[in-house]
Amino acid sequence: MVNTEVPPLDGIVAGGRVIDPRHGLDAVCDIGVRDGRVAALAPQLSRMSGVWVRDATGAVVVPGLIDLHTHVYWKATSYGVDPDRIARRSLVSTLVDAGSAGAGNYAGLKDFVMAGATPRMLAFLNISFPGIFAFDRGLMVGEANRLDLLDVGRCVEVAQRHADTVVGIKVRLGGPVSGDIGLPALDRALAAAEAARLPLMCHVGQAPPSYAEIVDRLRPGDILTHCFRPSPNGPVDDRRRVLPALRRARERGVRFDLGHGFGSFGFESAEAAIADGFLPDTVSSDVHALSVDGPAFDLLHSINKLLNSGVSLIDLVRMATVEPARAMRRPELGHLGVGAPADLALLRVAEVPLRFTDATGATRDGVQLLKPLGMLRAGCWYDAEPRPWELPRERGRP
Ligand SMILES: [Zn+2]
């Protein structure tokens, strides 16, 4: 069947298996693109002369991936990574910086990094005035351990001034990050989020405060990141059951984000929570200079870990497209409806033995891999960059 009821197109991504969870779509079809937007979807679109065609036969085509938790204040923070490199390696159309900048330095993130980046960039604004300013190997001076840095008024003012790119407020809690302050730091961040009418993303670290104390305070729409952090202070009890506070929070509408990072994803926590029926709402990498070469690597690697832990492909696409869009209240993103930005990722499902490592050094052998082919970002094609750690190797070799 040739569909001729469509406007003139610039190009067609042809014949891929298109998965768009927001529209309940999982079918082989063509996607027509015009002026950087999705213009048509049909089993077969007519190939007019002058229209580019990218053959996606055998590929999985998904809405442009959204990484809800990254650190990409490149060159202005010690742990920031290059957003272009990360986006092309992992086929991420939208990178969300999670609190690298605070009210005191947000304009630099916007003008010096976001403005020139290939991916769309958005951010959670740190409640702490300088953002995360001293995080490196062997160095951690917390940004939330002094109340005078947690200025609600300044945070709200900057969030409102940059409402085009600020999608929420960020706070990190636990260990040296919040020091002796603990929960009052969360209360300040909640006050800022409430005044700015934005969601709060809250990082759970070492206790105190405990995981339960934190999620009990979160509001509907707020996001708990590092949801599968290793114990102690993980998501499950010693019987490997999800803590009642997490279930209460989910019922209230609190969202749970993976946020793999350097120390925040444990297979034992993830496997126990998944076995107890508790999946994350969103999957994200928490990629930064200390996690970009492992154990997190990037969003696609985190997705592959969950794929090999038994989470379905469709659930994973949902967690990296429509759900992060909802978490940010950006419903125009994360789907392939007509009129949506022509951001999409082409992947290939391969049977490749690969050993995965979590933040504790525990390993699991995987057999299935989503391999990146390339992406459209606002209608322009980018080939995927190489991922050397995913080359096949003999099973059993370290
Ligand atoms: Zn982070």
The listed CATH number (2.30.40.10, 2.70.70.10, 1.10.287.1080, 3.30.930.10) that belongs to domain 11-62+340-363+373-390: 2.30.40.10
Instruction: Report pLDDT digits (tens) over 183-237.
Output: 999 999 999 999 999 999 999 999 999 999 999 999 999 999 999 999 999 999 9
CATH number given to 63-327? 3.20.20.140
Measured in angstroms, how far is the CA atom of residue 299 from the centroid of ligand 1?
Answer: 13
Determine the pLDDT at residue 352: 87
pLDDT on residue 138: 87
| Secondary structure percentages of the chain, helix, strand, coil, to 5 | 25, 30, 45
Q: How far is ligand 1, taken at its centre, from the CA of residue 210, in Å?
A: 18
Answer yes or no: is pLDDT of 128 > 70. yes
- pLDDT tens, residue by residue, 305-359: 999 999 999 999 999 999 999 999 999 999 999 999 999 999 999 998 889 999 9
| Structural domain boundaries in the chain | 11-62+340-363+373-390, 63-327
Percent of the chain with pLDDT over 70: 96
How remote is the CA of residue 203 from the centroid of ligand 1, in Å? Answer: 7
State in Å: Cα 69 to ligand 1 middle: 6
Taking the centre of ligand 1 as the mean of its atom positions, its distance from the CA of residue 150, in whole angstroms, is 18
Looking at every residue in the chain, the average pLDDT score rounds to 94
CB 213 within 8 A of CB 246: no
Tell me how far apart the alpha carbons of residues 182 and 176 are, in angstroms, rounded to a whole number. 10
For ligand 1, the distance from its centroid to the CA atom of residue 79, given in whole angstroms, is 10
What gap in Å lies between CA 343 and CA 284, rounded to an integer? Answer: 18
- Report how far ligand 1's centroid is from the alpha carbon of 147 (Å): 20
pLDDT digits (tens, 9 = 90+) for 41-72: 999 999 988 899 999 999 999 999 999 999 99
* Helix 183-196 with 152-161: angle, nearest 10 deg: 40
Cα 225 to ligand 1 centre (Å): 8
Return the pLDDT at 5.
Answer: 63
φ/ψ of residue 355, rounded to 5: -95, 125
- Report the distance separating Cα 90 and Cα 85, nearest Å: 9
DSSP state of 341: B
C-alpha to C-alpha distance for 85 and 348, rounded to whole angstroms = 20
pTM: 0.95
In angstroms, what is the span from residue 128 Cα to ligand 1's centroid? 14
The dihedral built from the CA positions of residue 314, 279, 122 and 325, taken in this order, carries a sign that is positive
pLDDT-derived band at 290, boundaries 50, 70, 90: very high
The sign one gets for the Cα dihedral 29, 33, 37, 42 is negative
